[in-house]
């Protein structure tokens, strides 16, 4: 069907184009705007009525004039998907960037996706070993979880994400993760850093990469993560693969969302971001999980840089309310030369309890991590006190805790970028550090675990 071309643009504002006097156009339908130079820009209908239609143009409105032609394509945005996408590098709107042939679709899927029926979801409980102690030991990731990295400019969140992508595995199973990587508004350099690592480690073979770089149109960032997640759903739930999705940087995505909101003259919510940002982010993050009867799974690691390292900023805040925890990168640890600079106290994995324990990791895992948390928190508090009254006025007990906090950061949290610790090693280090505390202070650990795992007890055997 050749659709009718309209030349009735009445207004162009930011990324929006208003078209008058059209035939009925469907909400969410795709539109194509032809420019005088023959190029075509794509967009999507945001508002439709008998009087006018509002189109949000993905590639930006530069060059569009009132006499430009607009055609409506009669369908919502679809993503061609196939198994051959693995190993491909695509643009933020899904066009090949690697010089390879176009994707021959096995299916064309709606990019908005539908909500998984909560009844159809399966419980995420398979422990993913990332080889990073601060995550495995204290904030365990499980298959089907969405666990963002809250970071700030200048912090090595990319290294952490790459290390996870490289080392992530489910123990006792040979299946590898397929990686879907969506870059939104990151710099060319950052992108090259990711690509170089993917190529070096051979991860690219089992990866699909979507690249929207800093100089690509901001509006395109609205669709990039949706293309990526549609691909991930296809790989996970049609091709039975375990998919790890890395989305970076969510902050750029939200900026694009705000830009559209402002152009539509919407009533803004906090800090100028749209009031529906929670719902909008949820339609991305909730596309993670497992489905009953399906072998595959989607695990998401969104990365967001918190403006001013402010965890109460709307982007971090709303994300934290949707995701199942967060890994928080801390500037003070980074300055102290600790990699990965993960603030264990502020981090959290909500699904940890489902993924650890006997048969999954080890029986003492929960108790050990609780004890480390409590002792580390106490040690950190004491640092504040020492700054005022000096170390000498601490009791012997308090000195031990102070020391524990230092050891915890230097020996447990800190590790090499290529260091892949299995969970036993992680717990071993934790026990060695806990052994520096008086045994009577290990109140969160059952007697039987202390007898079995405490270094002092094992040596006496």
Partner 1 sequence: MAKVGEIYRVAGPVVTATGISPRMYDVALVGEERLMGEVIKIYGDKTVIQVYEDTSGLRPGEKVFDTGQPLLAELGPGLLGSVYDGVQRPLPVLMNAMGNFIKRGVTAPGLDRKKRWNFSPAVKKGDVVKAGAIIGNVKEGHMDHRIMVPPDVSGTVDWIKEGQFTVEEPICSISGKEVTMMQKWPVRTARPIVRKTMPDVPLVTGQRILDTLFPLSKGGTGAIPGGFGTGKTVTQQQLAKWSDADVVVYIGCGERGNEMTEVLVTFPKLEDPKTGKPLMERTVLIANTSNMPVAAREASVYTGMTIAEYYRDMGYDVSLMADSTSRWAEAMREISSRLEEMPGEEGFPAYLAARLSDFYERAGRVETLSGFNGSVTVVGAVSPPGGDLSEPVTQNTLRIVRVFWALDSKLRERRHFPAINWLTSYSLYTSNLDGWFRKYVAEDFPELRAWAMEILQREAELQEIVQLVGSDALPEEQKLTLEIARMIREIFLQQNAYHPVDTYTPLKRQYVFMKTIKRFSELARRAVESDVPVETITELPVRIRLTKSKFEPNIDEELEAINKEMESQFEGLGGRA
d(CA 351, CA 348) in angstroms, rounded, equals 9
Name which of residues 15 to 54 contact partner 1 (CB under 8 A). Answer: 24-29, 46-50
- Residue 287 touching partner 1 (CB under 8 A): yes
Least separation in angstroms between CB 59 and partner 1: 21
Least separation in angstroms between CB 44 and partner 1: 10
Interface region with partner 1, contact rule CB under 8 A, candidates 8-16, 161-169, 211-219, 443-451? 443-451
With CB under 8 A as the contact rule, the residue among 237, 253, 339, 453 that binds partner 1 is 237
Sequence-distant (6+) residues with CB within 8 A of 229 are: 113, 180, 182, 245, 284, 287, 298
- Residue 360 touching partner 1 (CB under 8 A): no
Interface region with partner 1, contact rule CB under 8 A, candidates 170-178, 183-191, 246-254, 280-288? 280-288
Which strands, in side-by-side order, build the sheet including 52-57?
Answer: 9-13, 16-20, 52-57
Are 167 and 244 a contacting pair, CB within 8 Å? no
- Residue 460 touching partner 1 (CB under 8 A): no
Are 431 and 454 a contacting pair, CB within 8 Å? yes
Name which of residues 64 to 83 contact partner 1 (CB under 8 A). Answer: 76
d(CA 299, CA 285) in angstroms, rounded, equals 10
Interface region with partner 1, contact rule CB under 8 A, candidates 182-190, 207-215, 222-230, 274-282? 274-282
- DSSP H helical segments within 202-276, as ranges? 220-233, 250-263
Nearest-5° Cα angle at 251, 250 to 256: 95
**Mutual angle of helices 188-201 and 157-167, in 10-degree steps:** 20
With CB under 8 A as the contact rule, the residue among 60, 69, 96, 113 that binds partner 1 is 113
Bond preceding residue 340 cis, omega within 30 of 0: yes
**Nearer to partner 1 among residue 69 and residue 113 (C-beta):** 113
Neighbours of 449 (CB within 10 A): 20
The DSSP element (H or E) to which 407 belongs, if any, is helix 396-407
- Residue 283 touching partner 1 (CB under 8 A): yes
Name which of residues 316 to 355 contact partner 1 (CB under 8 A). Answer: 317-318, 320-322, 324-326, 345-346, 348, 350-351, 353-354
Are 436 and 403 a contacting pair, CB within 8 Å? yes
What CA–CA distances, in Å, run from 366 to 112, 139, 340, 356, 362? 38, 10, 22, 7, 9
- Residue 172 touching partner 1 (CB under 8 A): no
Least separation in angstroms between CB 411 and partner 1: 20
With CB under 8 A as the contact rule, the residue among 63, 154, 275, 455 that binds partner 1 is 275
- Residue 266 touching partner 1 (CB under 8 A): yes
How many residues bind partner 1 (CB under 8 A)? The answer is 83
DSSP annotation of 444 reads T
Least separation in angstroms between CB 371 and partner 1: 9
Name which of residues 199 to 218 contact partner 1 (CB under 8 A). Answer: none
Name which of residues 400 to 439 contact partner 1 (CB under 8 A). Answer: none
- Residue 240 touching partner 1 (CB under 8 A): no
With CB under 8 A as the contact rule, the residue among 166, 226, 313, 414 that binds partner 1 is 313
């Amino acid at each position: 069907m050749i659709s009718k071309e309209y030349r009735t643009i009445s207004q162009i504002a930011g990324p929006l184009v208003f078209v008058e006097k059209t035939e009925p156009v469907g909400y969410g339908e795709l539109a194509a705007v032809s420019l005088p130079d023959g190029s075509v820009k794509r967009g999507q209908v945001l508002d439709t009525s008998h009087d006018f239609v509002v189109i949000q143009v993905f590639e930006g409105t530069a060059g569009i004039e009132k006499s430009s032609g607009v055609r409506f394509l009669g369908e919502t945005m679809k993503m061609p998907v196939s198994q051959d996408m693995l190993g491909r590098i695509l643009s933020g709107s899904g066009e090949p960037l690697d010089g390879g042939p176009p994707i021959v679709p096995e299916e064309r899927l709606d990019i908005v996706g539908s909500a998984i029926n909560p009844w159809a979801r399966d419980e995420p409980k398979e422990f993913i070993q990332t080889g990073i102690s601060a995550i495995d030991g204290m904030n365990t990731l499980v298959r089907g979880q969405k666990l963002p990295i809250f970071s700030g400019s200048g912090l090595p969140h990319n290294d952490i994400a790459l290390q996870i992508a490289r080392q992530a595995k489910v123990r006792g199973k040979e299946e590898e993760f397929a990686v879907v990587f969506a870059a939104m508004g990151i710099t060319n350099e950052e992108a090259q850093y990711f690509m170089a690592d993917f190529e070096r480690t051979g991860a690219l073979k089992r990866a699909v990469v979507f690249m929207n770089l800093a100089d690509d149109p901001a509006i395109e960032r609205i669709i990039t993560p949706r293309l990526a997640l549609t691909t991930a759903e296809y790989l996970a739930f049609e091709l039975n693969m375990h998919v790890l999705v890395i989305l970076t940087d969510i902050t750029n995505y939200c900026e694009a969302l705000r830009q559209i909101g402002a152009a539509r003259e919407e009533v803004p919510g906090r800090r100028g971001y749209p009031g529906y940002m929670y719902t909008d982010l949820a339609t991305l993050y909730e596309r993670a999980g497992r489905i009953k009867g399906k072998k595959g799974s989607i695990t998401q690691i969104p990365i967001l840089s918190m403006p001013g390292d402010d965890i109460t900023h709307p982007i971090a805040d709303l994300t934290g309310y949707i995701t199942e925890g967060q890994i928080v990168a801390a500037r003070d640890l980074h300055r102290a030369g600790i990699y990965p600079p993960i603030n264990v106290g502020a981090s959290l994995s909500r699904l940890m309890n489902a993924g650890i324990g006997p048969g999954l990791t080890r029986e003492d895992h929960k108790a050990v991590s609780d004890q480390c948390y409590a002792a580390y928190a106490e040690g950190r508090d004491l640092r504040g006190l020492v700054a005022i009254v000096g170390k000498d006025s601490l009791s012997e007990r308090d000195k031990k805790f102070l020391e524990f906090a230092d050891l915890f950061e230097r020996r447990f949290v800190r590790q090499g970028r290529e260091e892949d610790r299995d969970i036993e090693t992680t717990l071993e280090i934790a026990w060695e550090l806990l052994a520096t505390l008086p045994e009577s202070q290990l109140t969160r650990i059952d007697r039987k675990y202390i007898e079995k795992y405490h270094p002092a007890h094992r040596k006496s055997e």
